[in-house]
Amino acid sequence: MVTAYEEGDGGARMWVLQPTRSMTWSQAKRFVAAVAAVSFAIGGFFWLLGMPTVLPFSGLEALAVAVAFYVVLRDGERREVIRFDGDQLVIERGTRTVETRYEFNRYWVRVELAGPRSRLHPQRLLIGAHGRKVEIGRFLTDGERESFAGMLINALKKNR
């Protein structure tokens, strides 16, 4: 998902890139609890019938479901912020905090929508200057990536 922000006179712009996540943390918690409840109910039912080996597998499975949702929702908090700062194009990325930061001179920036590494793989959006390249928007769909690349190129042209 790409969100665009206008700043002041409409010249400078900022974009926030994030993976699409349809669930909130609290929805996910309730969902995992419901799945685990059903799984434990079945495991418990067989426990009561004198067949105790189902319950440990139910537990393992509930754990796996919980971990899966945690990983995916946590991963969904990744952000890439692309903005103009004076003569610089700044790319910041991280989860909940800025973990890495790249700066490029905006007049030298090249935006490249490269073909996939192997057939059927997604395209790559590369931003770079002076031989340095950063790939952004790996978690976007191809459509979103193309659309964003177009917006960025236009913004770069406008400010030249």
Partner 1 sequence: MSEAASHHDDHHDHHPSGLMRWLTTTNHKDIGTLYLLLALVMFFIGGAMALVIRAELFQPGLQFVQPQFFNSMTTVHALVMIFGAVMPAWTGFANWMIPMMIGAPDMALPRLNNWSFWILPFAFTLLLSTVFMPGGAPAGGWTMYPPLVLQTGAAFPFLIFAVHFMGASSIAGAINVIVTVFNMRAPGMTLMKLPLFVWTWIITAFLLIASIPVLAGAVTMLLTDKFFGTSFFSAAGGGDPVMFQHIFWFFGHPEVYILILPAFGIISAIVPTFARKPLFGYSSMVYASAAIAFLSFIVWAHHMFTVGMPLAGELFFMYTTVLIAVPTGVKVFNWVATMWHSSMTFETPMLFALGFIVLFTIGGFSGLMLGVTPVDFQYHDTYFVVAHFHYVLVTGAVFSLIAATYFWLPKWTGHMYDEKLGKLHFWLSVISVNVLFFPQHFLGLAGMPRRIPDYSVQFADWNMISSIGAFVFGFSQLLFVVVIWKCVKGGEKATAQVWEGAHGLEWTLPSPPPYHSFETPPEPSTIEGGMR
Q: How far is the CB of 48 from partner 1 (least distance, A)?
A: 12
Q: Please name every residue paired with 73 in a beta bridge, in sequence order, or none if there are none.
A: none
> Which CB, 83 or 133, lies closer to partner 1?
133
**8 or 121, CB closer to partner 1?**
121
Question: How far apart are the two ends of the chain, measured CA to CA in Å?
Answer: 27
Q: Are 126 and 145 in contact (CB under 8 A)?
A: no
Q: What distance in Å separates the CA atoms of residue 112 and residue 133, rounded to the nearest whole number?
A: 10
Phi-psi region of 12 (alpha: psi -120 to 50; beta: other; left: phi over 0): beta
The 10 Å Cβ neighbour count of residue 136 is 22
Identify which of residues 100 and 105 has a Cβ nearer to partner 1 in the complex.
Answer: 100
Shortest spacing between CB 9 and partner 1, in angstroms? 20
Q: Who's near 11: CB < 8 A, 6+ residues apart?
A: 158, 159
CB of 126 to partner 1, least distance (A): 7
**150 - beta bridge partners?**
none
Give the residue with the Cβ less far from partner 1, 83 or 124.
Answer: 124
Residue bearing tokens 């969902």:
31
Q: Which is nearer to partner 1, 20 or 105 (CB)?
A: 20
